[in-house]
A and B are shown apart, each in its own frame.
Chain A
């Protein structure tokens, strides 16, 4: 039996006074998609950085394809897992193609320049997020949604096996939200990629995740198959707002109950 793509054991994660995870353990196999849900400030981004090996856990271990991040080293890790950060910094001018090509970094030697093959991969990635033909545009001239899709293209050009996505749907219009989720679902199904994604849309998570991880704060977490974990009861507790479930044949929808806003528990800080 091969090692899971990602394996967390007894993970303790906190940032400042916020306890993100306490004794969190789970495995993610190739081809699986895990949705991470939680309120603002519960540490979803911090957890993702820890899973990416970019932030030490207080305790416990994270293993990527069976190896720890120390064993793998930065370059090898970057060929196995990619991270879509929540924010993109463009302090300097750069074209869309140059930005997409950054994903090729871990595949290039120290003195090697991006070649024709790298450019082909980058252009393919741009086409996959509906940015074909914009390669020569300046990053500064892109809209928020286009910039987000460009970041996804750079991640695709990296060609990792595990995708860690921090709010991949931010700034995207509805059709691109669905297109991006279908893109990663296809990667999981056809290429055996693993996907961990922070989502805020319960109904998209229901359709595009195999498993779900709910972060309740104070280190409490619930992880399991998406159809079981993503229920009206647990999600009402998660968001502190009453939700109810609708059914349309096989499809389930979870929507907020109008006008019944329960007083939100005070935000911890």
Chain B
């Protein structure tokens, strides 16, 4: 059992990393912003050009990146517990596939950004409802049925996405590809993601010891007094909403939702009371950092952020896995 002190230390360190990632995101860019500019922008001080850029462009984008990284990591951690499968990620039930169909259809029709985001959200929810409706079957959702249905719905969405890509005019293709890999230039406002992240933590943290038991099996959890029939739909709903919001804001950023919970689990164990907040902070920091790199390393060109999350995350994950005495049981 990780002691509370060790848990608090890990969370404190990750919180500092999160703050540092946001600071870097505010300062870095083609227009260099000094610490004074950043502080002026945040404190509402004198409106220099740099302060303006920081406040109007970089701050919303950094916050959106942090919130969406946190949401994806939270949703991934919750899905892994609910499906009792360490390979689960936020997209495993077809949410990103549905969102992609919605967003790309809107792009194909030449709709404005707001409707593209709306299409993504509607598609994500439609896919979720479809999966849960189809997997219901004989009245109970088993993990296997849900997973299989999710995989099949995702495959169907993948086919529709391929169809859209193949008929799309060339000038829209690049935007579509970026959306599919995750791209924060679509992020209009960070607020929905931030609000949902706060709400999600407020729902999940009080239930985190219940989730510890649920990860060990439904029957054992219920025998210990965990209200599984009430808790599980609530957590599925939370994970689906978190994923839909993140995907709507940033496109289908891969990797964060699968690997961040694993990274945290390898480092500090599988106690959800520590893992959930730690994964949120780590996911937020990772996506913020990745997005900053994505818009700076080949500036003025921007790279899709999903490429960067994978390029940062894969070596970090492999390093921790090789170092871990616990081996592949994570």
Contacts and interface: CB of A to CB of B under 8 A. Distances in A.
A102 interface: yes
Contacts of A93: 265, 269-270, 326, 329-330
Interface in B219-257: 219-220, 222-227
B296 interface: no
A16 to B, nearest CB: 10
A89 B217 contact: yes
Nearest to B270: A92
Given A108-B209, A138-B326, A90 B216 contact: yes
6 contacts: A95-B1, A98-B269, A105-B224, A110-B209, A114-B1, A119-B1
Contacts of B85: 91
Interface of B: 1, 4, 80, 84-86, 206, 209, 212-213, 215-217, 219-220, 222-227, 265, 269-271, 273, 326, 329-330
Contacts of B271: 98
A90 B217 CA distance: 8
A83 B1 contact: no
A168 B269 CA distance: 29
B329 A138 contact: yes
Quick one: which of A87, A99, A110 has the most chain B CB within 10 A? A110
Interface residues of A, number: 39
A88 B223 CA distance: 13
A90 B330 CA distance: 10
Contacts of A77: 225
Contacts of B270: 92-94
Contacts of B222: 54, 74
Contacts of A75: 225
A102 B270 CA distance: 13
Given A85-B223, A99-B216, 16 more contacts: A73-B225, A76-B225, A78-B224, A85-B217, A85-B220, A89-B217, A90-B216, A91-B86, A93-B330, A94-B269, A95-B1, A102-B224, A105-B213, A106-B224, A113-B4, A140-B329
B215 to A, nearest CB: 6
Given A92-B86, A92-B265, A119-B1, A74 B225 contact: yes
Interface in A161-187: none
A86 B254 CA distance: 38
Q: Which of B85, B219, B330 has the most CB of A within 10 A?
A: B219
